[in-house]
Amino acid sequence: TQLLEQSPQFLSIQEGENLTVYCNSSSVFSSLQWYRQEPGEGPVLLVTVVTGGEVKKLKRLTFQFGDARKDSSLHITAAQPGDTGLYLCAGEKVRDNDMRFGAGTRLTVKP
Amino acid sequence: GAGVSQSPRYKVAKRGQDVALRCDPISGHVSLFWYQQALGQGPEFLTYFQNEAQLDKSGLPSDRFFAERPEGSVSTLKIQRTQQEDSAVYLCASSLDSGVADTQYFGPGTRLTVL
- Provide the pLDDT for residue A1: 58
B-chain residues near A48 (CB < 8 A): 101, 103
Q: From the list A45, A100, A104, which residue is nearest B103 (CB)?
A: A45
Question: What DSSP string describes A70-94?
Answer: SEEEEEESS--GGG-EEEEEEEEET
**pLDDT tens digits, one per residue of A93-109:** 776 667 889 999 999 99
Number of domains in chain A: 1
Q: Find the mean pLDDT for residues A58-82.
A: 96
Can you say whether the dihedral through the CA atoms of B75, B81, B82, B86 is positive or negative? negative
- Provide the pLDDT for residue B1: 54
Q: Do B42 and A104 touch (CB under 8 A)?
A: yes
DSSP conformation class of B25: P
- Provide the pLDDT for residue A95: 66
**Could you say which residues of chain B have pLDDT below 50?**
none
Chain B's closest residue to A91, CA to CA, is B101
Find the range with the poorest average confidence among A1-10, A28-37, B51-60: A1-10
Distances (CA, A) of B104 to A99, B3, B29, B49, B66: 10, 11, 10, 13, 21
Q: Which domains does chain B have, with CATH numbers?
A: 5-114 (2.60.40.10)
A-chain residues near B104 (CB < 8 A): 45, 99
- Provide the pLDDT for residue A107: 97
- Provide the pLDDT for residue B40: 85
- Provide the pLDDT for residue A99: 81
Q: What is the CATH number of the domain that holds A95?
A: 2.60.40.10
**pLDDT tens digits, one per residue of A47-64:** 999 999 999 999 999 999
